[in-house]
Structure 1
Amino acid sequence: MAQANEIDSELSWRVLPSRLRFAEASEIERITPASCIMEDEPLPSPPAVIALRESFGDRKPPDITRKITACVACRKQKPEEPDYMSPPVVDMSNAEHQASPEKQSREEREPTQTWEVIMDPRGGPASIPASCLSENIRAALPNSFPTSRKPDLISTGIITLREALALFDTYHLRLDHFLYRILGDHISLNSVRVASPLLTAALCTIGALHSPSLGHLFDTCFAEYKDLVTSQVFSKNANADDIRGLCIGAFWLHELSWVLIGNAVRVASDINLHSGIYKALKGDREGYVQARLYYLVYVCDHHFSVAYGRPPMSREGFIIESASKLLDTEHATEDDARLISQVKEWSVLGKVFDTFGVDVDTAIAPETIPQLRRYSIALDTWFADWHESFSENRRVGNYPQKGVGFHFHFAKLYLCSHAFRGVPAGENAAQCFSPELEEIANAGVLSAMSILRVIVSDAEFRSFMNGLPLYFDTMLAFAVVFLLKVATKYATVIRIDTSKILSLVTQTVAALRGITQSMHRQHLLVVIAEGLERLLVRCQLPVQMTQEAAYHASPAMEPPPPFEMGWMENMASFDFQTNFPDMDDWWLHYNSSIGPGRAMGHVV
């Protein structure tokens, strides 16, 4: 034991001075590179150690070595003086701390994409070509947990849970029923929050836009919604509920509609919603839900493409041709029938767009008039098929039935307005109107007047206007401008009563003033109502002057020619999606240089 203590003492004595020498060098300037390194070489054994080992018959000296240890200053100098003769030594225990925070953060945000070749053993050679390549999203996103709740505008404190519940009720109990229940199976706020923060923000934003008491939350919710949409554009985890959130925004938010539906179409294609119809027709409920959501995307896309002179992004095909068959499945509801009716209508209008294009300055070719008539007959058939199909809804009253009529008149107006393409104003217009075109033009006037009469005479429908999607607001504005242009520039051609039309427009403007008094100032219909009122004033003044001149004129004199309103030449469209000017002067800023949206106003 004494010998062992002596050995420990001896070893401690030989090791201690070097440790102390390194520890006591508190100032880096006094340490030379060699003074802080202890070479890795065997140490000679003292006599006591040798004697002890000999007593056990082992004369091998102990392998006592010291590791190379360098101070901070020396370690900084060693990249400057690399040792090319020996491999670098990496301290793996400190590797995590040596990586820069910026690099770690970037690697976490931008994981390496991993792809793999796959072969589905259940499928045969006739498969989608790209189906043999698959992106391994789970491997690419190791830190994602789809089952966990993601932060939303409630958990981050943007709005309170109580406010969110009230906004959810505003949307869920009324607005969602105008659009055939986009929420689908989601009947609670909690369900929506688990499904998608984007969907949560969407319904809160639209709820605030239509809430009398919580309208002040609109800007806050809208800002959060835009941030989530921006982050979703490049996300690999978008799902069906994100599509719902995009569609809800597109239907009601005029500033973002075209961008939102474009993204919704892309995501719908990414997750193959269009293939759900095959499973749906076999009775599979998941396929039914997928097909139903695809039809919503299709309708929303056509709302903001055809009427704005843009090619629809969602395509025709088996899923559109088989839309009616979905109603024969066990899962179908009346809301599905309303949705399918819209798919059928927009399928016709999409064909109109493909046939006639967007060149509003060129008259339609005489040989295309029979095709235009066929489209008109198709719309008449559509109205006959669906007008009596729907009953009163406990959430939105008689809108399902009345909405069919309103959509029908919108569609007819859009189709029949083609008759005015390339037709000059004034006396020369009569030379361009064949009897067939005149008949089509008159049908367009009747549809436009029918739209305005509904607003003026139907109190229940007026109550729907603070809730219906943007398409209704846009087409209502177009109907008014269409009639004002016809009444002031083509009255002698198609034999209409100018004063009667102006009276109807006046009543419509008054009705819109009453509708919008209690609406959120950010609502598009508020802007439209104010603009149409100013427009009417400018139309009425020249008409009054013309009527007074006719009253004082000699009976032998010819009636004065229709007055010219050059300022109306600049009102070719109402493209609220991509060109939304100053609210106070919006009706004077639209001109023929706007672009594709100009097709919205076919009357030149």
Structure 2
Amino acid sequence: MEGSPSDSAAVLALRETFGDRKPPDITRKITACVACRKQKIKCHMGANGQPPCTRCKKRGLSCTVNKSLQMILESDASWKHIVDRKIRILEAALGKVANHLSLPDLIDEAIDQDDEINEDVEQGAMPTPSVRAGTAHISPTAERHTPLNFEVVMDPDSGPAAIPGSVVSPIAIPGMETNRADQDIITRGVISLEAAQRYLDIYQNRLDHFLYRIIGDRRDMAEVRSASPLLLAAICAVGALHLATSDFEKCYQEFASIAASQTFSRRNTVDDIRGLCVAAFWLSGISWTCVGAAVRIATEIQLHRSIFQALRGDRTHYQRTRLYYLVFVCDHHFSVAYGRPPMTRRDDAIRACMQFLETENAVEDDQRLISQVQFWSVGSDIYETFGIDVERPLDSSMIEPLRRFSISLDSIRNEWTRRFRLNEYVGDYPRKGVGLHYHFAKLYLFSMAFRGIGKPGFKAADVALDIDESANTAVLSATAILRAVNDDEEIQGFLNGLPSYFDLMIAFAVVFVLKVATKYAASVRVDTSEIRSLVEELVVVLKRITSNMHPRHLLVSVAKGAENLLERCCPQEVTGPVPSNAHVTMNEPNFDQNLFDMSVDDWNGTSFNNFFMHEFDFLTNQGQMNGYQPDMNWTGMQQMP
């Protein structure tokens, strides 16, 4: 008999290799287990003849019966045959899934990799498990970075006054222009196509209009995917954050992985810059990192030089120029307010921003964008003029610039408020946003009045009245911010969508008024009970708004922190209004120092020693604020309730 019907094809094939399809003639069948044979005693197996035997079961011993070599080989061949069949079934199922998702390349690439492995096996060069495990974690968009060779070139169309660096150019490497879109967040299976479409919809129909359409003209999913995997990952991360879905963590990590892999890329595009800007505006934990990369790439691909062709009506250069303006605004969002020098300067493109609006391609969103360019140009001038030494009191030489900047901010607000009308996607935000940015800038400017408070030379006689006026203006701007959030339901609806800079400024306004109403209550004419009422109402509003937000949203932490600070700063016994004749004094008033030891240890487990309760100026808080990255520290965040 050549083989029983139960013998598998793999077993029969194995026997064939030995030249005989018959089962082996085993002259002596082993029935005793190893333990019993060692003791040379009779082994009593169970009713079905399978281990464990009676003795091993009673003594709790390991009961095994040795098999012949032939039986071991046949068992191994049978197991491999079953596994091979299951893998083929899995491949067929994945092929159907890939076809359903219109991703035929997914299977093709797997087949190509399988062919490479087979070739390695045939050549005796099978990669070790450690090597394969290492390559499995390489980002899909990572590219090999090899040293470049350069050549000297002479452009016949340019004159002798060319940019010096333009005469040395890297030599192109064949094969560098591969399509990175083949490995985006959808292709890699991080999220489904349907989920990505939801995130693109919320971004394109709402979020993008708060920032003057970063991605430019409307695009469908196929266009976004082909444009940049980095842009798609950023949109998905921001969309998931604002829809409060569980995909946020995955999308965030995928974006960070792609961005890191492209750090040294020589193939970055304008759409990669868009992706970095999207992430910077909304993903607070990595904003500064993304801004730095965006500025570097923007200058590398010469966005700042497109203004000249844009003014001549070239649409491609128009889009490049407005992207440069977005990079400028993004840079200033996360530099000036954090005490960092801006990386972008007032160059030809910035100086020509009003001319840009006169081009045939300009639309209303460009007007909103240019209003921001003007606000932040003044903000940059404020930073350059007053510097970062917050211990130095203002002197008479600084009063005139203070007034000049205030007038500039007033002019910008008056100019742009009257221009804007209701927006199809974000309602009256264009006009109300100008008001909020105006008060943010005013608060930043006039908080300078408190520099050096309590230090020798603070509020010298020749500037005392000016400092009083500036201090009160700062309080008015801070309370205007709080009232706007408390009283305007439309603004409340904007908060789950506005960039994180707004969350920062709301937090700063809260801290500012609490310090003025408590520690420095004798320095400014302020009704402390009104301040407490404003902050109490703000806490209620923020808790209601953030109740449905993703826990990683910065405003969630701001709401918790504001509530904690209110409880510590303003106990229930609140004193009445400060007399109207109160004024800034040369020395700090007496107060209970323990009340102002405001280490907010319960902000998501992050220590905020003196984070908010230091001097009013933004710059003093830079170190602590840089350490506060609520959506960056995933190890700690994953332990949140």
TM range (shorter): 0.7 to 0.9
Distance 1:172 1:459 in 2: 23
Distance 2:622 2:443 in 1: 11
Deviations 1:548-577 (A, max 9, x none): 9x9xxxxxxxxxx76334553668xx9xxx
Unpaired runs of 5+ residues, structure 2, are 1-119, 580-588, 625-641
Q: Aligned to 1:403, what secondary structure does the other structure show?
A: helix
- Counterpart of 2:325 in structure 1 is 295
Distance 2:595 2:608 in 1: 10
- Counterpart of 2:573 in structure 1 is 544
Q: 1:171 to 1:581 in 2, by over 3 A?
A: farther
**Alpha-carbon contact 1:186-1:192 (below 8 Å) kept:** no
- Counterpart of 1:151 in structure 2 is 183
Q: Does 1:583 align with 2:583?
A: no
- Counterpart of 1:564 in structure 2 is 592
- Counterpart of 1:204 in structure 2 is 236
Letter of the 2:299 partner, please give it.
Answer: S
Q: Aligned to 1:491, what secondary structure does the other structure show?
A: coil
Letter of the 2:206 partner, please give it.
Answer: R
Deviations 1:157-182 (A, max 9, x none): 11110111111101111000000000
Letter of the 1:490 partner, please give it.
Answer: Y
**Alpha-carbon contact 1:570-1:592 (below 8 Å) kept:** no
Give 1:345-424 correspondences, 5 Å limit.
Answer: 345-424=375-454
The Cα shift of 1:262 comes to 0.4
Q: Does 1:434 align with 2:464?
A: yes
Distance 1:167 1:545 in 2: 47
Distance 1:445 1:378 in 2: 19
The Cα shift of 1:314 comes to 0.8
Distance 2:181 2:258 in 1: 15
Q: 1:471 to 1:502 in 2, by over 3 A?
A: same
Q: 1:99 to 1:366 in 2, by over 3 A?
A: farther
- Counterpart of 1:67 in structure 2 is none
Q: 1:393 to 1:442 in 2, by over 3 A?
A: same
Distance 1:309 1:569 in 2: 23
Q: Aligned to 1:331, what secondary structure does the other structure show?
A: coil
The Cα shift of 1:491 comes to 2.2
**Alpha-carbon contact 1:250-1:300 (below 8 Å) kept:** yes
Q: Does 1:136 align with 2:171?
A: yes
**Alpha-carbon contact 1:506-1:536 (below 8 Å) kept:** yes
Residue 121 of structure 1: which of 142, 156, 173 is its match?
A: 156
**Alpha-carbon contact 1:531-1:584 (below 8 Å) kept:** no
Distance 2:595 2:376 in 1: 33
Q: Aligned to 1:269, what secondary structure does the other structure show?
A: helix
**Alpha-carbon contact 2:392-2:452 (below 8 Å) kept:** yes
- Counterpart of 2:295 in structure 1 is 265
TM-score (norm 2): 0.70
Letter of the 2:604 partner, please give it.
Answer: M
Deviations 1:76-119 (A, max 9, x none): xxxxxxxxxxxxxxxxxx9xx799989xx99x824452211111
Q: 1:597 to 1:150 in 2, by over 3 A?
A: farther
Unpaired runs of 5+ residues, structure 1, are 1-93, 551-560, 575-579
Q: In percent, how many aligned pairs have the same letter? A: 47
Distance 2:195 2:596 in 1: 45
Residue 337 of structure 1: which of 367, 377, 382 is its match?
A: 367
Q: 1:569 to 1:333 in 2, by over 3 A?
A: farther
**Alpha-carbon contact 1:488-1:498 (below 8 Å) kept:** yes
Distance 1:588 1:424 in 2: 21
Q: Aligned to 1:134, what secondary structure does the other structure show?
A: strand
**Alpha-carbon contact 1:196-1:242 (below 8 Å) kept:** yes
The Cα shift of 1:436 comes to 0.7
Letter of the 1:563 partner, please give it.
Answer: F
Distance 1:233 1:476 in 2: 33
Q: Does 1:462 align with 2:497?
A: no
Distance 1:193 1:288 in 2: 23
The number of aligned residues is 480
Q: Does 1:492 align with 2:522?
A: yes
Give 1:36-47 correspondences, 5 Å limit.
Answer: none
Deviations 1:398-429 (A, max 9, x none): 1001000000000000000000000129xx98
Q: 1:419 to 1:485 in 2, by over 3 A?
A: same
Distance 1:343 1:581 in 2: 37
- Counterpart of 1:184 in structure 2 is 216
**Which one has a bigger Cα radius of gyration?**
1
The Cα shift of 1:310 comes to 0.2
Q: 1:235 to 1:280 in 2, by over 3 A?
A: same
- Counterpart of 1:160 in structure 2 is 192
The Cα shift of 1:597 comes to 4.9
TM-score (norm 1): 0.74
Residue 598 of structure 1: which of 605, 614, 620 is its match?
A: 620
**Alpha-carbon contact 1:478-1:601 (below 8 Å) kept:** no
Distance 1:430 1:465 in 2: 41
